[in-house]
């Protein structure tokens, strides 16, 4: 659910034509929230590999939806 919300926010910010570092910041926030949820949720033994995979997946999803939002914005505004 957190990743879906992050992807939606990334797509919206891409539509609003924010800078290219925004999806990276959103991916970092997603991983930080997941880290906090694992610590609070009585599962402190989560390994670093899970966080690394989650960060890579979040980066991929956020940049993809950011690019889609940016392409839609360019299409609406008539700019190539």
- How far is residue 78's CA from residue 29's CA, in Å, rounded to a whole number? 33
Task: Please state the domain extents for the chain.
Answer: 2-77
Q: pLDDT (tens digit, 0 to 9) for every residue of the chain, 80 residues total?
A: 888 999 999 999 999 989 989 999 999 999 999 888 877 776 667 778 888 898 999 999 999 999 999 999 999 887 66
Instruction: Report DSSP letters for 7-74, one per residue.
Output: HHHHHHHHHTT--TTHHHHHHHHHHHHHHHHHHHTT-TT--HHHHHHHHHHHHHHHHHHHHHHHHHHH
Tokens coding 42: 């009585």
């Amino acid at each position: 659910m957190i990743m879906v919300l992050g992807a939606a926010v990334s797509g919206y910010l891409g539509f609003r034509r924010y800078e290219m570092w925004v999806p990276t910041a959103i991916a970092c926030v997603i991983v930080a929230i997941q880290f906090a949820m694992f610590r609070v949720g009585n599962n402190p033994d989560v390994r670093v590999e899970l966080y690394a995979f989650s960060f890579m997946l979040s980066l991929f999803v956020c940049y993809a939806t950011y690019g889609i939002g940016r392409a839609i914005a360019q299409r609406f505004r008539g700019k190539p």
